[in-house]
């Protein structure tokens, strides 16, 4: 049987999806906004459909228009990528109802995992360690509420159950601020997510961000593909990611792997997913599960040789795939630098025309990007321009390879965070792998490194 897939995304992940489809002899339909007609992947797509004005709400988030394009081009399935509609359970449900296969888990799974309290409960039931906290309804009585917070122990974090993308979270250092902070978070959550429900978590002061990649066949079988360390972040946005995470307690890791696979088996997880943890004092604490491909998926692919995007397509389209834990072998170390169109000091977005550029290459270097010389970066979307990925025998060699790749790389015409990466790659704390999620913002950038 021949398949046709609509790619409901843009930029590098749309190109990544097309490459995977081509290898599997799947035809592609790419949708694009009026602001994106010069995107590279449109040239490689079998068909293209313009879906509306540049504003994401009118194009890449516009469910009826995307479903109409799917109907018009008679595709079998829709590939959501990351961002936009990738974790929108309503969209997945509409795909299911319209007879298009949503490439990812079921709408029910997306919904459950998108609700942070339900996700925590399911994770805990599967044996995953969660951040200590309180996930029942917040009592009306202020004294009772204060007692709950005190029992968890300050500092605590107030989180919106429908939160996402680093929004809907607030740290409370002292009891005096509890009520006001809870009220503000509820109001913000109501405005941003249409759901004001909040819960409490112990604030883990200085953890690393470690995540586990999983793959499930949707029928109750699942495997893991190891860890990634994404601790180098600013405002909860990852900047450098690596696989595997180094210096992790073996017992905790094995328990965590087992529990992650157990969760995916229990919920009959379909497709690829990431279970994210804060890691401190040798312990993993679940924070959330992302029910989609991640930006940083290449580092896992580089150390396992397992193509995660092809796996998504194969599983969704019932093509042959072997998911055998014993077949997964880990080799060496991989690192990814996210090159963003932004000022390296102020982090202000820097859209505009790329007048000239040169991309890196060579042994152990992978370059995933949709940009090219003469391309104009539009101002409407996220600022990711390119992912430079290296693979080598050790972490040190992977870093050296990245330094050399970055030396070859240049972009002219717009500002990028290229120089920030170069500085981080020479930083002693990073080289020693001693950085936590707070390091970049609280130490590195403050010290003017
Ligand atoms: P989102 O869905 O918005 O990405 P997460 O729950 O994944 O929210 O949290 C995003 C980031 O917030 C984490 O990577 C971590 O940096 C920080 N964070 C979340 N929960 C806690 C916590 N309990 N203690 C300390 N930091 C936290």
What global pTM score does this model have?
0.96
pLDDT at 1: 75
Each residue's pLDDT tens digit, 102-113: 999 999 999 999
Q: Return the number of other C-beta atoms located less than 10 Å from residue 371's C-beta.
A: 22
* Best residue among 132, 161, 166, 438 to mutate for probing ligand 1, ranked by most atoms within 8 Å of CB: 166
Cα-based torsion angle of the residue sequence 110, 113, 115, 118 in order, rounded to the nearest 10 degrees: 130
Q: Is the CB of 288 under 6 A from ligand 1?
A: yes
pLDDT at 397: 98
Of 182, 186, 197, 187, nearest to 146 by C-alpha is: 182
pLDDT at 95: 98
Each residue's pLDDT tens digit, 230-264: 999 998 899 999 999 999 999 999 999 999 999 99
What proportion of the chain, given as a percentage, has pLDDT over 90? Answer: 97
Q: Is the CB of 172 under 6 A from ligand 1?
A: no
pLDDT at 449 over 70: no
Q: Is the CB of 153 under 6 A from ligand 1?
A: no
Of 331, 404, 413, nearest to 373 by C-alpha is: 413
Each residue's pLDDT tens digit, 113-134: 999 999 999 999 999 999 999 9
pLDDT at 52: 97
Q: Looking at ligand 1, which atom is closest to the CA of residue 203?
A: 24
Q: Return the number of other C-beta atoms located less than 10 Å from residue 12's C-beta.
A: 22
pLDDT at 394: 98
Q: Is the CB of 157 under 6 A from ligand 1?
A: yes
Each residue's pLDDT tens digit, 24-78: 999 999 999 999 999 999 999 999 999 999 999 999 999 999 999 999 999 999 9
Alpha carbon of 287 to ligand 1 centroid (Å): 6
Specify the DSSP element, H or E, that contains 78. strand 77-79
Q: Is the CB of 166 under 6 A from ligand 1?
A: yes
pLDDT band for position 164 (cuts 50, 70, 90): confident
Q: Do 292 and 82 meet the contact criterion of CB atoms below 8 Å apart?
A: yes
pLDDT at 236: 87
pLDDT at 231: 98
| Catalytic-residue membership of 292 | yes
What is the Cβ-side half-sphere exposure of residue 326, based on CA atoms within 13 angstroms? 0
* Best residue among 153, 237, 287 to mutate for probing ligand 1, ranked by most atoms within 8 Å of CB: 287
């Amino acid at each position: 049987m021949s398949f046709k897939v609509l790619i409901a995304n843009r930029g590098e992940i749309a190109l990544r999806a097309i490459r995977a489809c081509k290898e599997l002899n799947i035809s592609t339909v790419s949708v694009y906004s009026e602001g994106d007609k010069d995107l590279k992947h449109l040239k490689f797509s079998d068909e293209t459909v313009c879906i509306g004005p540049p504003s994401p709400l009118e194009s890449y988030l516009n469910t009826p228009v995307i479903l109409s394009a799917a109907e018009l081009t008679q595709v079998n399935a829709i590939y959501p990528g990351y961002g936009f509609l990738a974790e929108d359970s309503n969209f997945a449900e509409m795909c299911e109802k319209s007879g298009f296969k949503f490439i990812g888990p079921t709408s029910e799974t997306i919904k459950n995992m998108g609700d942070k309290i339900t996700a925590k409960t399911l994770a805990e039931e599967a044996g995953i360690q969660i951040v200590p906290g309180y996930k029942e309804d917040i009592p009306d009585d202020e004294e009772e509420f204060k007692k709950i917070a005190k029992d968890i122990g300050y500092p605590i974090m107030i989180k919106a159950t429908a939160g996402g993308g680093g929004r809907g979270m607030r740290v409370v250092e002292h009891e005096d601020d509890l009520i006001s902070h809870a009220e503000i978070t509820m109001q913000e959550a109501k405005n941003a997510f249409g759901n004001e429900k909040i819960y409490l978590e112990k604030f883990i002061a200085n953890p690393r961000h470690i995540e586990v990649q999983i793959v499930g066949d949707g029928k109750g079988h699942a495997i893991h593909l190891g860890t990634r360390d994404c601790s180098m972040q600013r405002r909860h946005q990852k900047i450098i990611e690596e696989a595997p995470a180094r210096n992790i307690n073996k017992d905790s890791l094995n328990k965590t792997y087992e529990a992650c696979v157990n969760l995916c088996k229990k919920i009959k997880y379909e497709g690829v997913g990431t279970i994210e943890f804060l890691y401190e004092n040798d312990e993993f604490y679940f924070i959330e599960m992302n029910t989609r491909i991640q930006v940083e998926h290449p580092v896992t692919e580089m150390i396992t040789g397992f193509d995660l995007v092809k796996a998504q397509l194969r599983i969704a389209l019932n093509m042959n795939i072997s998911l055998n834990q014993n077949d997964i072998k880990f080799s060496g170390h991989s690192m990814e630098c996210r090159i963003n169109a932004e000022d390296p000091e102020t982090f202000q977005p820097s859209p505009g025309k790329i007048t000239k550029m040169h991309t890196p290459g060579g042994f152990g270097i992978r370059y995933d990007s949709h940009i090219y010389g003469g391309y104009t970066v539009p101002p409407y979307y996220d600022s990711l321009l390119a992912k430079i990925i290296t693979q080598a025998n050790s972490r040190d060699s992977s870093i050296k390879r990245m330094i050399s790749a970055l030396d070859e790389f240049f972009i002219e015409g717009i500002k990028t965070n290229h120089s920030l990466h170069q500085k981080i790659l020479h930083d002693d704390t990073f080289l020693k792998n001693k950085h936590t999620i707070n390091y970049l913002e609280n130490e590195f950038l403050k010290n003017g490194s």
